[in-house]
Structure 1
Amino acid sequence: MNRQPTLFISHGSPMMAAEISSTSIFLSQLGKELSRPKAIIVFSAHFDMAADIVITSGEQPETIHDFYGFPKSFYEIQYNAPGDPALAKKIAQLFENSGLHPVLDENQGWDHGVWIPLRLMYPNADVPIVQISINSGLGASRNHLYGKLISSLKDDNILIIGSGGISHNLKELFSRTPTKNRVEMVSSFTDWVHDKLIHKDLDALLNYQQEAPYASFNHPSQEHFLPLISALGSSDLLTVERLHKDVERDILSLDSYLFS
């Protein structure tokens, strides 16, 4: 059976659904370069649950358009990839074996942290998907555990993806009075993350809020960074490779990593 790597993808703005950019081209090519997985598990920044661990278990989840202010055509996009109820139950059992109490949700659909990148990677929407919620209220260590509990599934040809953003400060992105040194602040943070990943300094990454330069500027809230932490949990960190590096609108960093 093929063993899959783990990915972290910066999914960027919903505009990626329509615009051709270096990141959209990268994601389209990435799907062709990876060996085809049997299924995909996604930790998305936009599936952040404050209480239970929620696992999608529907057979044909809907496409969620969880954003506002975009052209009408964006709300008509459908990504009809199937779910995988059997895999969802297997994941739930792995969590239960560790004393956690996941909830299977047949109605939860694919948020844009899922369908924006996967629509580019797998445009035929023919690879089953299961989402596992993150919890930004519990911090990095707990979300790292969520990834660790499912790491064995990579051996079953299942691709695990964390979908978020290396930097994510929407208030600054749309500010009419940009912070003077914001480009340097983003660069310092993303360089720090890259250095810690390459040197496999997990302790520093789990404590990024205290140790990383300008952490609160790059991530005023945690939800876009935690999918990286969950991805790290599911990886062996034997090989760390930055597959893509890009910055849009000065401060939206779109780095993507592969862990194998």
Structure 2
Amino acid sequence: MTDLAMPALYLSHGAPPLVDDELWVSQLARWSADLPRPTAILVVSAHWESAPLTIGSVTTGTPLVYDFGGFDRKYYQVTYRSPGAPELAQQVAALMPDNEPVVHQPDRGLDHGAYVPLTVMYPNADIPVLQISMPTLDPERLLHLGERLRPLREQGVLIVGSGFATHGLPFLRDWTPNATAPGWSADFDAWAAERIAAADVDALIDFRAKAPGMPYAHPTIEHFAPLFVTLGASSEPGQVPQQVIDGFWMGLAKRSLQVA
């Protein structure tokens, strides 16, 4: 590992009101303060599924993607004018296999899975940010994607898989921030914490069949899937991730981790 080397993160990114939660904001801010300063940030978000792999805007000032509804108007006025990352985009494309096409979508800005946590972790918006699509929901293929992206960490690139450790929105009954976690959310989160602590990637891959609380914890799996990009980007097979944030928000698990 070089002096520039960055970890890879899996963030439970939260909805736009995350920025109003003092505890969560303090946890994210403290986490980023403990990290080396990235040369750039590469985000794979639950909110952008597109195959083949697609590279978003590489220029400053592309509008954000307000991919949510029903919130206060102030959340649609948020800006995050981070520098573009054209060189990083070229590197990502070069790391992909020759037989897998890469598409560019220059008008695609950062979605809330990318910019909401970044407004807390890097509020000055002075680090280049690039978002790429999640080209599959297959955990093993996402592990391989993380492996391909791994060399970027040696150049100081912070790789972020952005999702939510549980995301059973249709089954929530209490939408207040301090709501008690439903059994399916608590059970899934406890299982995930145990399997992550054991570096049991095989069990995590098979979470749909093995994890308690399914399918309620993830009626669709796009919010757990970015975890596998992060795990694939780990520098050592079998490495135990550091679980940096735990607890619940609106009953959903906000467990977040990093791998060196």
Shift of 1:148: 1.3
Determine the C-alpha separation between the residues in 1 that align with 2:129 and 2:249. Answer: 28
Tell me how far 1:174 sits from its aligned partner.
5.1
1:104 alignment partner AA: H
- 2:69 and 2:57 map into 1 onto residues whose CA distance is 27
- Post-superposition offset of 1:184: 2.2
1:123 is matched with which residue? 123
Deviations, residues 154-180 of structure 1 (Å, cap 9, x unaligned):
11111111111000011112579xxxx
Whether the 8 Å contact between 1:28 and 1:121 is mirrored in structure 2 is yes
What's the secondary structure of 1:40's corresponding residue? Answer: strand
1:120 deviates by 0.3
Matched to 1:252, the amino acid is L
> What secondary structure, in the 3-state scheme, does the structure 1 residue paired with 2:257 have?
strand
Deviating runs (4+, > 6 A) in structure 1?
none
Q: 1:5 aligns with which of 7, 13, 31?
A: 7
**CA shift in 2, pair 1:213/1:20, >3 Å:** closer
Alpha-carbon RMSD across the aligned residues, in angstroms, is: 1.8
Q: Which runs of 5+ in 2 are unaligned?
A: none
1:24-35 aligned within 5 A? 24-35=25-36
3-state SS of 1:132 partner: strand
Distance of aligned partners of 1:107 and 1:165 in 2 relative to their CA distance in 1, 3 Å threshold: same
Secondary structure, in 3 states, of the residue corresponding to 1:216? coil
Using structure 1 for the length normalisation, give the TM-score.
Answer: 0.91
For 2:30, give the aligned amino acid: Q
SS of 2:109's equivalent? coil
| Aligned counterparts of 1:182 and 1:244: Cα–Cα separation in 2 | 16
C-alpha distance in 2 between matches for 1:158 and 1:74: 28
Structure 1 unaligned regions, length at least 5: none
Matched, 1:139 2:138: yes
- With normalisation by structure 2, the TM-score equals 0.91
Quote the Cα distance in structure 2 between the aligned partners of 1:147 and 1:156. 15
- Measure how far apart 1:127 and its partner are: 0.6
Q: Match for residue 77 of structure 1?
A: 78
Which position in structure 1 is the counterpart of 2:106?
A: 106
What amino acid maps onto 2:185 in structure 1?
Answer: V
1: distance between equivalents of 2:240 and 2:138? Answer: 25
